[in-house]
Amino acid sequence: MTLLFPNLSKPIKLGGLVVRNRILSTGHMTGMISAGVPTVSFADYHEARARGGCGLIITESAAVHPTSNAYNIQLTNDEVIETLALTAERVKRHDCRIFGQLGHGGRETHSGTDGSIPAAYGPSAIATERFHVMPRAMSKSMIAEVAGAFGEAARRYEQAGYDGLEVMASHGLLLAQFLNPDTNVREDEYGGSRENRLRFLREVIANIRSSVGHRLVLGIRISGDELNAAGLETPEVVEICRELDGDGELDFVDVCGGSMTGLGGSVHVVPPMNFDPGYLAPISAQIREAITAAVFVAGRINDVRAAESIIASGHADMCGMTRAQICDPEMAGKAMRDAVEDIRACIGCNQACIGHMQMGYPISCIQHPETGREAGLGKRVPTERSLKVLVAGGGPAGMKAAAVAAERGHRVILFEQAPELGGQVKLARQLPGREEFGGIVTNLSQELNRHGVEVRLNVMLDRALVEDEAPDAVMIATGSRPYIPDNLVLESAHAVHAAQVLDGANVGTRVVIADWRCDWVGLGLAEKLVRNGCYVRLAVNGYMPGQNIQQYMRDRWIGELHKLGVEYTPFARLVGADENTAFFQHTTSDEPIVFEDMDTLVTATGSQSDQTLERELTGWPGEIWIAGDAVAPRTCEEAVLEGLKIGSAIGGGPLAQVDAPLKLSRH
């Protein structure tokens, strides 16, 4: 049989170790750490990707010294070995290799264990931009102590049964700070020339080799370009990699992009959907040409076809496909058996992966809420009695509930009153840079087809149809409708709701957007309208535009609006409008904010639940469930999660996994 991905499926030798394919899950924060120690959920999470066919898993960065970030794995004592050993055993039982990351935040250390701010250390006393930290320059004795700590941490990984190690010299962290002449202005043997700036990293590598020898594979992670003001640029990084490769101690170099130190560079740490897939591969290609060690690359590689092309073209030897496997833990296995059409594609929304982690929660995925919940909702329990189930609404909540219920063995019919599936996703994908969001509909449609759900379009489910179909259960996912507050005084204003704009409503050339939502809607409408030739003022009822979406997505978008000349005003509560003026009130001072010379007011004032069918079914004797915006308007994440829970619970499923009293209504 001819393999669809002959390069991606080819084994690779790293040191004395053979990895079964070229798909990598790169080190990333999971939020599955308690007091510096990985939890059992950490092992569950990584095992799911190993079982799914991944070739190599690199677990998240572990702090080697107490002066580094407190929210990392604290690899400073032997307490962590037990759970790391459990993780290694469970990953390796599936013929997957596992490496551990070793790191130190340096001047990017900004969080303690008790809410206080710890002292941060770096090569020099140069302040950071993103976290507003002024570090203390490390003494030579401290440099030696931290270098030794890398060796001790490596020993703990070896005791835990890990196959290899990756040293974090990336993203503007401590070792990268020493490499960068803009952050390292030391005048001793650790600063100045490239040889001096490499000294600390070389000492770290030497300490690790002294501790574990060549028994473990060893490599570094490095930003091929920090893509930030005063950041390391590609030509310098290529030379750094060339010199390290000449030492003969490294088995691989893992190329990423960006830097934690600035808002511009940090966007590239987990690049969102408005970056091209695999956009860092040309940089990894330059490094691969310069060195003999294997080269990995990551950065928005969400499609196995793109990964195959990167390897086939010689740009890298392995591809980091981390969010792709958060979205579909079985992605690698599906690719290896040429079942590419079954892969659930990551859309780069960042909402529940890095978004959850930054809020202090375990990571998940808006399309695959089973991620991070592997021990509970990650398991399908077949139904003991097949029921006839009607689902009202073809948005994400209804589609997910229908697919899961059918997968468990129920007979499911989904009704959608529109001519196509998708709900509000159909509107979201119309905004600039959000086209990929429509992938949710594609992926969920495939799940419906795979599990045999009958879909009836252009049909609205009502009480009469329910009684005619005589189901055992009805799931209501009818979504929401645009909401305009009753207290607004709009008089003769030309006012249109955000949804009407996306449906093609006419707007004038001078637009004010009243953005109560503080999410992607206001940002997207502003970009869409200004690109259409409008003069746009964005008035936000919050601290900033995009306040409620993941920061890398938001920060890049705000930068784009700045380049386009969009004016935005925070703390603005809409009061009313007349023919050419919009009236707002400052949300903390109550002082007026007035926008004159306006043609159109666009209201992004949210939505309210459509409860029509819920009211119609009052007294109906069957089983009724409600999910998504039909319960309360929120995001796609909650819709899919609740759909999953309902699909798992219908007909006496594992109800213990369903927080029905909190998010779902059962009549």
Tens of pLDDT along 366-409?
999 999 999 989 889 999 999 999 999 999 999 999 999 999 99
pLDDT of residue 662: 33
User: How many residues in the chain?
Assistant: 667
Residue 193 has pLDDT above 70, yes or no: yes
What does the mean pLDDT of the chain come to?
Answer: 95
pLDDT at 656 over 60: no
- For tokens 């066919």, the residue is 53
As a whole number, mean pLDDT of residues 37-48 equals 97
User: How confident is the model at residue 446, as a pLDDT?
Assistant: 96
Confidence of residue 333 (pLDDT cuts 50, 70, 90): very high
Using the CB atoms, write b or e for 597-623: b if 16+ within 10 Å.
ebbbbbbbbbbebbebbbeebeeeebb
| Greatest alpha-carbon span in the chain | 84
Q: Which domains does the chain have, with CATH numbers?
A: 12-347 (3.20.20.70), 388-482+609-666 (3.40.50.720), 495-605 (3.50.50.60)
Write the pLDDT tens digit of every residue in 463-505: 999 999 999 999 999 999 999 998 898 989 999 999 999 989 9
pLDDT for 1 beyond 70 = no
User: In the chain, pLDDT over 70 holds for what percent of residues?
Assistant: 97
Q: What is the pLDDT of residue 71?
A: 72
Going by pLDDT thresholds of 50, 70 and 90, the confidence category of residue 426 is confident
pLDDT, mean of residues 454-467: 98
Phi and psi at residue 405, to the nearest 5°: -60, -40
| The predicted structure's pLDDT at residue 664 | 38
DSSP H helices in 318-394: 322-327, 331-336, 354-358
Cβ count near 304 (within 10 Å): 24
